[in-house]
Structure 1
């Protein structure tokens, strides 16, 4: 392909956007869940849409005005970090503004993003603040929104400081931004809770090294990235296998409908079916999917049996703490749950056994465990060591429960969710809901090239992938 036809993104303009109302919010102290993220890159995620029936100037005006109104509802995103004399770090809601970038990619079509087997490098151009570490929020915007106009579509990407929000808060902001653009409302569906009154707010001080913290992984290591899609039927088959049950297809000649069955299960702790008992203690669909991925990636990495592997899952602590945090508590409220198992056990034991190891750790992570993790951090305040340090790690982030497709700016829901370069390394997995909803899941899988090739050639894994 000649250089003139290579897919490129060209930045046309960049400008600050300020809240349309002056902030009256007090400084927000970073919590024990926020501070470890200071060494992470900014979150980079966004939505692909068909081209709306709007002139470019009208589209830019809509998004900028909508962002300005949304910043008034989320004042921290228009602020900056500050560190006081005692070493505590705060978000000061000083109306310094967020940035808005307008870019074009006239030679990139929607099919160029959705059709390739692996996520194309061109997607990375839809985001700004590449390689920006969250600590730099002391002097850089905490939020940047980029509109990229494609040949036949648009991409709206957000780069957000990870020490300000986790995935729950990020998508609440994105949903609100879309809602404000669509209907212009100031009273929104899901109001964030900015209170700083929980056990997450600590007197411990994180000592910052000279020059600020750095990411703890090699961002230049070669990787391959692919979206693996799983249909609802495929996931239910996988869950049935994990739980040791025979899968029976949808209603045919009097067979029970699966959707009806799952609805009944949610209201009844025990249901007799196929001469078995299904209960709420079953291995979940998502844990089944994680176990499948763990086995396949470990097999592809070709480890000796004694090699220790780690499957690390991020969990939302909002509902695990007592008293519970508000569902839309603004900030980070996540902890990382590691599960350690030898490669031999992962590969040679069955799917249920692997899923049970994950299940036990997730179930055990209640209020007492959350508080123990907080106390452990307070004894030794540190940034989160993100990466694959021994070659045997898998890190699962994001969630198929996040409302990623609930982003209608006025021209319908997104065609796809994509992310930028941020926080990607061999073994980093992100879970997205599928566009079809109803329990479909997309996994954004990032692996070393040779491991990705092994995963793609594994029939035990690929049999569950949609379109394989």
Structure 2
């Protein structure tokens, strides 16, 4: 399946459908560290539309233009002033829109059996390859590529990571799909407030020409999707919540968490890089299903890496702080509102103890990350502004991103829901994990796992890990 079979047919600029009063937005303490990260690249594989190619492209261009009218910041550019402060200038410079064709690729070929790696062709479905977010000073903050396949369409979207996190990304993408369906009123208008705990006069100093990526991106890697059914995830949760951890008689927090996470339900709680959130009013007393799955992966990859017992391992996950701050930020707050929670353990200790031990470590760290911890993290960053340390620096790190609670499959552009959700090549290194909802929903999870070839082979042969993969 040669990726060279993807041919760019045309490129155009799309601007806001109507002018909108939009203020210049200063990048926050949570935005600035992402300037060394590559653009977020996510997209959906859709069934073939009942439209001609010309009508399809016209529909999507117009829909994107209407979406930008609700998200005018994404049609702007970054600017650094004389004091070193970085802003989004909402000047409607526009975004890039690409039309591509891949007549020799089919949906079947792009959805291989579970023993196959993710096809490399997906990387050709996105623009801004390896582009750092700092490039938004000169380049568009968004690039959309529509690729027509033999029997399907892929809509790939690349967005500057210093401007959006996963929550804001999917709010934009979902709105794009709503516009294509012809809705009269979007379901979730973005909130552009800039008076939060993340707003700060602190300045991040960059070398001439801007920052460099914090990881090489040159090492050989394998990428694979591991699917976990709802039943498998619940079995892991049962293992993690051993008889020694008896939950108190609170409501069913697994159900409450599913409704409230990410702010897409009743807006009570959310995490990014998903773990069942711990609310201020009703603390979760059980280890969540996603914490259990994360601990299972942490132990399995550590085993596959064959680390020395005394080697410190790190499992890092980003959490959404919108519901953790008091007062809470709106679920539709536009920008980055995330902080990273690292959990560490010696490899020998991690593997000699059971799943409940490692899951409890993750659970305890997440549970402790409330308003005071978020604000303390802001103060620490202000005292020493720095870029986000993305990468696997000691060969023993895992970084969890994205979330199985994000509404990735709520993207019907008018002719059917997505067949699959996939990412491009951005921000990938040995140990980068992205969590997606399973296509069938109902609590299933897809983990996009990026590892060195040797570690991936070890993971594939790990019977304890593969027991839960379907």
User: How high is the TM-score relative to the length of structure 2?
Assistant: 0.91
- In 2, Cα distance between the equivalents of 1:11 and 1:213? 30
- Output one character per residue of 1:20-77: Cα deviation in whole Å (capped at 9) or x when no partner: 1113101000000000000000000000011111100000000000000000000011
Cα 1:237–1:77 change in 2 (3 A) is same
Corresponding position of 1:391: 395
Mapped contact 2:254–2:288 kept (Cα < 8 A): no
Q: 1:176 Cα shift?
A: 0.3
Mapped contact 1:8–1:125 kept (Cα < 8 A): no
Corresponding position of 1:271: none
Cα 1:44–1:240 change in 2 (3 A) is same
Corresponding position of 1:193: 191
Structure 2 residue ranges without an equivalent (≥5): 245-251, 260-282
- In 1, Cα distance between the equivalents of 2:239 and 2:81? 55
Q: 1:84 Cα shift?
A: 1.0
Structure 1 residue 66 corresponds to structure 2 residue 63: yes
Look at both structures and tell me which one has the larger radius of gyration over its CA atoms: 1
- In 2, Cα distance between the equivalents of 1:210 and 1:204? 19
Structure 1 residue 354 corresponds to structure 2 residue 354: no
Q: 1:6 Cα shift?
A: 6.5
Aligned match for 1:435, one of 434, 439, 458: 439
Local SS of the residue matching 2:5:
coil
Q: 1:280 Cα shift?
A: 4.3
Mapped contact 1:165–1:332 kept (Cα < 8 A): yes
Q: 1:7 Cα shift?
A: 5.7
Aligned match for 2:12, one of 5, 12, 15: 15
Matches of residues 28-107 of structure 1 in structure 2 within 5 Å? 28-107=25-104
Structure 1 residue 152 corresponds to structure 2 residue 151: yes
Q: 1:303 Cα shift?
A: 0.6
Cα 1:263–1:83 change in 2 (3 A) is closer
Aligned CA RMSD, in angstroms, stands at 1.8
Corresponding position of 2:320: 316
Local SS of the residue matching 1:320:
coil
Local SS of the residue matching 2:154:
strand
Corresponding position of 2:263: none
Q: 1:264 Cα shift?
A: 9.4
Cα 1:265–1:50 change in 2 (3 A) is closer
Matches of residues 244-393 of structure 1 in structure 2 within 5 Å? 244=242, 280-393=284-397
Mapped contact 2:3–2:124 kept (Cα < 8 A): no
Cα 1:238–1:115 change in 2 (3 A) is same
Mapped contact 1:23–1:95 kept (Cα < 8 A): no
- In 1, Cα distance between the equivalents of 2:319 and 2:147? 32
Mapped contact 1:46–1:157 kept (Cα < 8 A): yes
Aligned match for 1:444, one of 435, 448, 451: 448
Q: 1:298 Cα shift?
A: 0.2
Aligned match for 1:242, one of 240, 244, 249: 240
- In 1, Cα distance between the equivalents of 2:256 and 2:211? 50
Mapped contact 1:224–1:447 kept (Cα < 8 A): yes
- In 2, Cα distance between the equivalents of 1:149 and 1:245? 53
